[in-house]
Amino acid sequence: MKRKLAGWILMVFAFTAGAGLVFGQDKPAPALAAAVEPPKPAAPAPTASPATPAAPAPPKVDTGDTAWMLTSAALVLLMTPGLALFYGGMVRAKNVLGTIMHSFIIIAVISLQWVLFGYSLAFGPDRGGIIGSLSWIGLSGVGLDPNPDYGATVPHQVFMIYQAMFAIITPALITGAIAERMKFKTFLVFTVLWATLVYDPLAHWVWGVGGWIRNLGALDFAGGTVVHISSGISALAAAIWVGRRRGFRTEPMAPHNLPMTITGAAILWFGWFGFNAGSAIASGKLAASAFVVTHLAAAAAALSWVLVEWLYKGKPTTLGAASGAVAGLVAITPASGFVGPMPALIIGAVAGGLCYAGVIGKNRLGYDDSLDVVGVHGVGGTWGAVATGLFASKAINDAGADGLFFGNPGLLGIQVIAVLSTWVYAFVVTLILLKILDWTMGLRVSEEDEENGLDLSQHSETGYNY
Amino acid sequence: MKKVEAIIKPFRLDEVKAALNSVAVQGMTVTEVRGFGRQKGHKEVYRGAEYVVELVPKVRIEVVVPDQAVDRVVETIAKAAKTGKIGDGKIFVIPVEEAVRIRTGERGEGAL
């Protein structure tokens, strides 16, 4: 009891400090700096935007853009239940519901967190380049007129709800690392805290107007750093701190339902078109380009993972094909609005083999990242961010930049800075969060509960009654 | 009465059933089991993690027959189930004390 109380008091202090920061001195609306290239180009019309808030007429809603963005939001939402199935099939039958529940309940939890204050922290008016203010708390000021910075041709709430789906799936990715052994109650608290303290700031740094990584000129079209690297590295911290499953390496822990996993992978592939092509925040050429490269990277990566595994282990596997496809999709995510089709094939082909190596490497290093979040999202996202620095071309997206292979070595360095900052920040904050939660609430289920399975011990349910 | 219990390779089940029918064996009980004798299991690989699965799927057939039919039934099963490769299985003969037909209450060999 004492520990729990101490923990809650700590939390209150932390939030008070944070609130002080975000409620800090008000700044005038940021001038659109000429040097800043928005990674998500909104309006296709390149008019010189007014530098002062001299109240121009509200931007017009484009029905084509809005239709596509609403569709994309729905596609990205579907990715989270898809992830639930992808992960669910890979755990043992006694944990299938617990695993699915992680992803599914996050939809509910983060949707609330997002509209109450998460969106404001991520995309609200900038505070010091590191966080948004709370002026959009409870979606105050987030109406149906477009926001010129965030989707100038779609209602602001469309942009908000689209981004909500990203905020939802990112913590869901982490659950793969701690599958089969985490306490449900603590997991819920962790999710809200992680979203608020890691995802929201990161989203602000990379995508928010005034965010410091955005101001550096780093390119992340749909979330290589914000989604994949952050969740991958946080998963590493979680796998290490929560510890290995009982029986790891001595007991068989084979996937119990690979057809379910492949179904999940297929849903993820499908939804990813919304994830990447929707990040154009408009319907048109850029969305088309992102759609195509997304598909090609997935295809190339599926093949390359299967080929590498065929050579290394002797047989091509369905789990490998599915995992490879996902790895390719992860890698192309930051690059999807900046690279062409042929580079996409290369990015995917490298991702397949590289992520496979990442997974094998995990086996060597000995930590129990149960469902390979680090190997696929951490490694894949890192490669994707670096690949963006190599293959980006202004011919594809003139609001982006050129990469190394198109004559601009500078971008690569900026990408590396973005990657390293994400690694460090996500890892450290996650570790601190986990330590506090372990100390106050306990992270792991008891040995007996772990043996009986999460379905029974956490949810009083059985996945399969026959 | 004796129970003849045979553990065979699953894909030979249809042959064994047909062969038993041809020697007028009227019924049987079939269960799916796993086991091994001298047959090695197989290897499964999931993302580089190897699992050796020792237990091999088999089928167990149980028939209860009058004493004088035992040798004929054992021979029939053995011939139909044989492939010549390791893992063909085994047959056991176990004495049965009583048999009852539930519908009519008949006992003994008349219940078979």
- Do A315 and B48 make contact, defined as CB atoms within 8 angstroms? no
* pLDDT at residue A384, rounded to an integer: 97
Enter the tokens of residue A309: 């595994």
Q: Is A356 on the interface with B (CB under 8 A)?
A: yes
CB contact under 8 A, A363 and B51: no
Q: Taking the CA atoms of B22, B24, B30 and B34 in sequence, report the sign of the dihedral they define.
A: negative
Q: Could you please report the per-residue DSSP string of A337-405?
A: TT--HHHHHHHHHHHHHHHHHHHHHHHHH----TT-HIIIIIHHHHHHHHHHHHH--TTT-TTS---GG
Bridge partner residues of A444 (DSSP): A182
Instruction: Give yes or no for residue A233 having a pLDDT over 90.
Output: yes
Domain boundary assignment for chain B: 2-111
The residue that leads in pLDDT, B41 or A8, is B41
Average pLDDT in the A415-423 region?
97
Mean per-residue pLDDT, A331-357: 97
Residue A21: what pLDDT?
58
As its CATH architecture, domain A59-457 has Orthogonal Bundle (1.10)
**Is B48 at the interface with chain A, CB within 8 A?**
yes
pLDDT of A49 over the 60 cut: no
pLDDT of residue B42: 85
Q: Which of A254, A309, A320 sits opposite B51 (nearest CB)?
A: A254
Whether B86 shows a pLDDT value over 60: the answer reads yes
Indicate whether A30 pLDDT > 50: no
Residue A220 neighbours by CB under 8 Å, 6+ apart: A39, A206, A207, A226, A334, A385, A388, A418
pTM: 0.84
Residues A254, B44: C-beta atoms closer than 8 Å: yes
Q: Is A60 on the interface with B (CB under 8 A)?
A: no
- Chain B contact for A363 (CB, 8 A cutoff): yes
Which segment of A22-31, A146-155, A317-326 scores lowest on mean pLDDT?
Answer: A22-31
Nearest alpha-carbon partner for B77 in B2, B17, B9, B10: B17
pLDDT of amino acid A214: 97
pLDDT tens, B1-46?
Answer: 999 999 999 999 999 999 999 998 978 999 999 999 888 888 889 9
Least reliable range by pLDDT among A22-26, A326-330, A375-379, B43-47: A22-26
Give me the mean pLDDT over the A434-445 stretch.
Answer: 96
**Higher-scoring residue by pLDDT: A21, A120:** A120
Say what percent of chain A tops pLDDT 90.
84
Cβ B44 vs Cβ B92: under 8 Å: no
Architecture of domain B2-111: 2-Layer Sandwich (3.30)
Judge whether A318 is closer than 8 Å to chain B, CB to CB: no
Question: Which of A252, A315, A323 is facing B47, going by the closest CB pair?
Answer: A323
Residue B38 at interface with chain A, using a CB cutoff of 8 Å: no
What is the Cα–Cα distance from A98 to A183, expressed in whole angstroms?
10
pLDDT of residue A60 exceeding 70, the answer is yes
pLDDT mean over A181-186 = 97
For residues B48-71, average pLDDT: 92
The CA distance from B13 to the nearest CA of chain A, in Å, is: 25
Residues of A in contact with B51 (CB under 8 A): 252, 254
At A364 the pLDDT is 83
Sign of CA dihedral B54, B55, B56, B60: positive
What is the pLDDT confidence band of residue A362, given thresholds at 50, 70 and 90? confident
**Ordered DSSP codes for A297-341:** HHHHHHHHHHHHHHHHHSS--HHHHHHHHHHHHHHHHHHTTT--H
pLDDT band (50, 70, 90) for residue A22? low
Taking only the tens place, the pLDDT of each residue in B72-84 is 999 999 999 999 9
Q: What local confidence, expressed as pLDDT, does residue B57 receive? A: 92
Average pLDDT over residues A275-284: 97
How far A357 CA sits from the closest chain B CA (Å)? 10
**Rounded to whole angstroms, how far apart are CA atoms A110 and A108?**
6
The single residue listed with the structure tokens 């992803």 is: A103
Is the model's pLDDT at A26 over the cut of 90? no
- A465 vs A111, residue with greater confidence: A111
DSSP SS3 for A249: coil
Number of neighbouring beta carbons within 10 Å of residue B42? 10
**Could you state, in order of their start, the residue ranges of all structural domains in chain A?**
59-457
Roughly what angle, to the nearest 10 degrees, separates helices A200-207 and A410-440? 170
Task: Please give the average per-residue pLDDT across A277-286, as a whole number.
Answer: 97
Cβ contact B48–A359 (<8 Å)? yes
- The pLDDT, as a whole number, for residue A18 is 61
pLDDT digits (tens, 9 = 90+) for A125-141: 999 999 999 999 999 99
In terms of pLDDT, which residue wins out, A5 or B7? Answer: B7
